[in-house]
Structure 1
Amino acid sequence: MKRLVLFLSLLFLLQSCKSSYSKTELLKESKALKERIKKLETADTVNKEAALELKKMNVVYRGVANPIYISKPNAVSFEATASGLRKLDSLGNYYLSPGTGRTVDITIKSKLKNGDSLTETKTLRIKDISAPIGIINGIGCGNKCEVLLKKDELTRGKIGVKVNEFLFSWEFKVSGFKIHLKGKTYDFEGNHLDNSLEQEIQNLKEDDRLVIFDIKFKIVGAPSGIRYKNPSPILIRIAEDN
């Protein structure tokens, strides 16, 4: 658009000034306008910084291959480097697996259309993944509090896992757990209580306590090699039946 405006200005100038400008003067004016156009094009190219998009998050997580998209508008080519950065394809898709520290720098070196080279640095925050928390019927707060449940709610309880303030859309699938109840420990497979403890649960009284622990799970949709801690137990207190 700027090129078009300046070109039209040049035409107007040539048409309106033929009678008063010599050929030499017109050529000088034309050269000056062309130099202005070139400077504007160069400024436009340089000012467009490299775009870095973190997919579904605003930080990168330690111990995770974080998907990242990097692009550089108006560049002939560019190269991105960082500790733990792995290029996936020629479309700008990368995985970033940060190491130690609180931040990671991504250096982007690009070659512009005007022949210049440009180096930029993007700094990202690194965050540790919070320890998984065991939940029952979608409720749980780790070791910080007790979950208050009625006996029928416990009988139909579904065991799960969550991670607070986690932005990946991964699924945590429970494959087994243990219950410590009245001095005894019981093993379960899957993510539901079965009928084997129905009588023991019905014999519980208000304010009786039990613990669900050793929750085994896997993450569906996560890249291979991810490291995570064991989920915190679920502390349960029996509520009064109305």
Structure 2
Amino acid sequence: MKRAIVCTILFLNLVLSCKSSQSKTQLVAENKALKERIKTLESYDSMYTKAALELKNMNVVYRGVSNPIYISKQNVLSFEASAPGLKKIDSFGNYVLSPRTGKTVDIKIKSKLKNGDSLIENKILKIKDIGRIIGLINGNSCNSKCQLLLTVEELKNSIVGLGGDNFVFNLDLSVKGFKLKLPDSDVIEVEGNNIPIKMNNQIEQLKPNDIVYIFDIKLKINNSNFYSLRICKTPLIQIRIIEQP
């Protein structure tokens, strides 16, 4: 649109200069005025092109997470973006944002326009807390106020995992270990993510309505985008033994 306007102005100026008997001084003045008009159009175009900000795979930013963000600004000589917890990754507009306190974060984008002026824009993003991480047994979950119902055979060699309560990310979590408490037995430290085969004899002695506890699950976050995530202790898992159907 801007190019079409400029071409129209140039065309009209040429036609008028050919049909008139204006002096050289007048033509020089008109040519200067035309250049000023073009400069004004370029400045107008730059000032009203807003900065583009893209959140990769997210609509908001999450606390405790390094949120990938892409920021760009067209028709400017340069721009700088700043915000609490914002870190520039490269010269191609890639940033990560690790939100701090509050419910929103302001990203200030300061641009240097082609006409030498500066333009400051503010982008406001909402901050949310991530969902709560919970323990899983064979892919099933239950909070600390209820009990998972398992038979002895289901409990043997069970796999302990981790999931989320309305969780929005793929953290790629793995279980490094946990603690196991059987009735009339001391707490057992277990390495890995499953109940060891060597414990089958003890588990086979369990009776219906016996309660088994799994707690202090040790986890590892394998997704490098979430290296700064701090996870509170996962709630314990209560298992009530039921009869084999």
- Considering the TM-score relative to the shorter chain, is it more than 0.5? yes
Is the Cα–Cα contact under 8 Å of residues 107 and 119 in structure 1 kept in the other structure? Answer: yes
Query: Structure 1 residues 183 and 129 mapped into 2: Cα distance closer, same or farther (>3 Å)?
Result: farther
Q: Distance in 2 between matches of 1:202 and 1:17?
A: 104
The 5 Å alignment of 1:48-59 reads: 48-59=49-60
Give the AA of the match of 2:106. D
Deviations 1:73-99 (A, max 9, x none): 222111111122222222222232222
Identity value in percent = 50
Q: Distance in 1 between matches of 2:157 and 2:77?
A: 61
Query: Structure 1 residues 50 and 239 mapped into 2: Cα distance closer, same or farther (>3 Å)?
Result: farther
Normalised to the residue count of structure 1, the TM-score between the two structures is 0.82
Q: Distance in 1 between matches of 2:198 and 2:132?
A: 30
Q: Distance in 1 between matches of 2:17 and 2:90?
A: 55
Give the SS at the match of 2:110: strand
Give the AA of the match of 2:221. I
Query: Structure 1 residues 238 and 73 mapped into 2: Cα distance closer, same or farther (>3 Å)?
Result: farther
Query: Structure 1 residues 27 and 149 mapped into 2: Cα distance closer, same or farther (>3 Å)?
Result: farther
Query: Structure 1 residues 214 and 193 mapped into 2: Cα distance closer, same or farther (>3 Å)?
Result: same
Q: What is aligned with 2:11?
A: 11
Q: What is aligned with 1:235?
A: 238
Give the SS at the match of 2:170: coil
User: Post-superposition shift, 1:39?
Assistant: 4.3
Query: Structure 1 residues 42 and 166 mapped into 2: Cα distance closer, same or farther (>3 Å)?
Result: farther
Q: What is aligned with 1:191?
A: 193
Aligned partner (choices 214, 217, 221) of residue 215 of structure 1: 217
Q: Distance in 2 between matches of 1:196 and 1:61?
A: 42
User: Post-superposition shift, 1:127?
Assistant: 2.3
Query: Structure 1 residues 132 and 30 mapped into 2: Cα distance closer, same or farther (>3 Å)?
Result: same
Normalised to the residue count of structure 2, the TM-score between the two structures is 0.81
Deviations 1:144-201 (A, max 9, x none): 4322333332223211122334444321111111122213232211001111222333
Give the AA of the match of 2:203. I
Give the SS at the match of 1:163: strand
Unpaired segments ≥5 residues, structure 2: none
Deviations 1:22-72 (A, max 9, x none): 648999988777666544433332222212222222222323333322221
Q: CA RMSD in A?
A: 3.0
Give the SS at the match of 1:4: helix
Is the Cα–Cα contact under 8 Å of residues 103 and 123 in structure 1 kept in the other structure? Answer: yes
Q: Distance in 2 between matches of 1:52 and 1:180?
A: 50
Q: Distance in 1 between matches of 2:59 and 2:124?
A: 12
Unpaired segments ≥5 residues, structure 1: none
Moved more, 224-233 or 208-217: 224-233
Q: Distance in 1 between matches of 2:80 and 2:10?
A: 39
